[in-house]
Amino acid sequence: MRFSIWPSANQPLADVLATARHAESTGWDGVWIADHFMAAGGPGAPAETPTLEAGTLVAALGALVPRVAVGTLVYGTTYRHPAVVANMAVTADHVSGGRFRLGLGAGWQLNEHAAYGIDLPPARDRVDRFAEAIQVIRSLLTEERTTFAGRWFRLADAPCEPKPVGPLPIFVGTSGDRMLAITARWADGWNTWGHPDHIGERSAALTRACEAAGRDPDSLARTAQALVFMAGEGEEAEVERRVERAPMPAVGGTVEQLRDVVAAYAEAGVDELIVPDRTLGRGAAKLEAMDRYVEEVAAAFR
């Protein structure tokens, strides 16, 4: 199994870079960055929290951090035209020497759409739009020229040069059935938030979607993440409370308990676990938590 870190873009660049460089030097496999222009709001991340832009940031990481894969989780289709995304992805791939992974999603965050005056269509239309966008991006990355006539996007003999250094994998962030069907047809990998039982159920749905599309389910990588809380000696009760109060899927406990959690993810079919850094502490404490996780938890699954 692969293990990657997800530095929050709601922290200073120096902290993101320190996290990514530490991951590179201590055996982590990748670094992922979320694509938002502002925080979603809520405890710990008010909407006015400074936010680094993902496309610029992943290109910088590709240049400054060697070895590890770098990628987006995930570019939002509602505010990024697929032709722009394809050209950005190729550039990031060349900057990183072929280490870029392109994560795509339909778009969802209400407050940034409202703040910037960006239209957020109903869910059905967002999925339909995404289905066109991923086809456009796939074609631009692989074909000499792209002509496409859809409801949302129209391209006429469009180039995208240079091409990627090598195969540039496309990941889709989703859990819904319609998006899973699109993932099965057009993507190289899948990503979603959740506990092992949810991931297992959705992974099985993705397998069925692959079979319906005539695709080998094993040809599609499966990645997942949840917030991680690591318990030191005597901290088990506090960590349990923090997991229960977390605003999104979270796991936690002792090293032994976290190994059991990782084993459950592996049983659910996950190829790569992604660890958001927002619950690991700050500064030296965060780097120490990363070391503990990769040395005492992840090492058992490599």
pLDDT tens, residue by residue, 96-133? 999 999 999 999 999 999 999 999 999 999 999 999 99
pTM of the complete model: 0.96
Domain containing 155 equals: 2-301
Report how far residue 66's alpha carbon sits from residue 55's, in angstroms, rounded to the nearest whole number. Answer: 18
Report how far residue 191's alpha carbon sits from residue 223's, in angstroms, rounded to the nearest whole number. Answer: 5
Which residues does residue 75 pair with via DSSP β-bridges, in sequence order? Answer: 104
Q: DSSP letters along 117-143, please? A: T-----HHHHHHHHHHHHHHHHHHHHS
Does the bond joining 70 to the residue before it have cis omega, within 30 degrees of 0?
Answer: no
Residues of the chain predicted below pLDDT 70: 43-44
Domain total in the chain: 1
What CATH number corresponds to the domain at position 108? Answer: 3.20.20.30
User: Can you give the pLDDT at residue 43?
Assistant: 67
Q: What is the CA radius of gyration of the chain?
A: 19
User: Can you give the pLDDT at residue 259?
Assistant: 98
Give the list of residues 6+ apart from residue 245 with CB closer than 8 angstroms, or none: none
Report how far residue 283's alpha carbon sits from residue 52's, in angstroms, rounded to the nearest whole number. Answer: 18
Helical pair 123-142 and 177-186, crossing angle rounded to 10 deg: 10
Report how far residue 241's alpha carbon sits from residue 179's, in angstroms, rounded to the nearest whole number. Answer: 33
> For tokens 């072929």, what's the residue?
98
Residue pLDDT, tens place only, 289-299: 999 999 999 99
List the structure tokens of 122.
Answer: 């109903």
Q: Whole-number mean pLDDT of the chain?
A: 97
Give the list of residues 6+ apart from residue 8 with CB closer than 8 angstroms, or none: 16, 34, 276, 277, 278
Q: DSSP letters along 88-107, please? A: HHHHHHHHTTS-EEEEEE--
> For tokens 């870190």, what's the residue?
5
User: Can you give the pLDDT at residue 261?
Assistant: 98
Give the list of residues 6+ apart from residue 153 with CB closer than 8 angstroms, or none: 81, 82, 83, 129, 132, 133, 136
How long is the chain? 302
Measuring CA to CA, which residue among 27, 89, 38, 92 is closest to residue 61? 92
Q: Are 302 and 1 in contact (CB under 8 A)?
A: yes
Residue pLDDT, tens place only, 123-154: 999 999 999 999 999 999 999 999 999 999 99
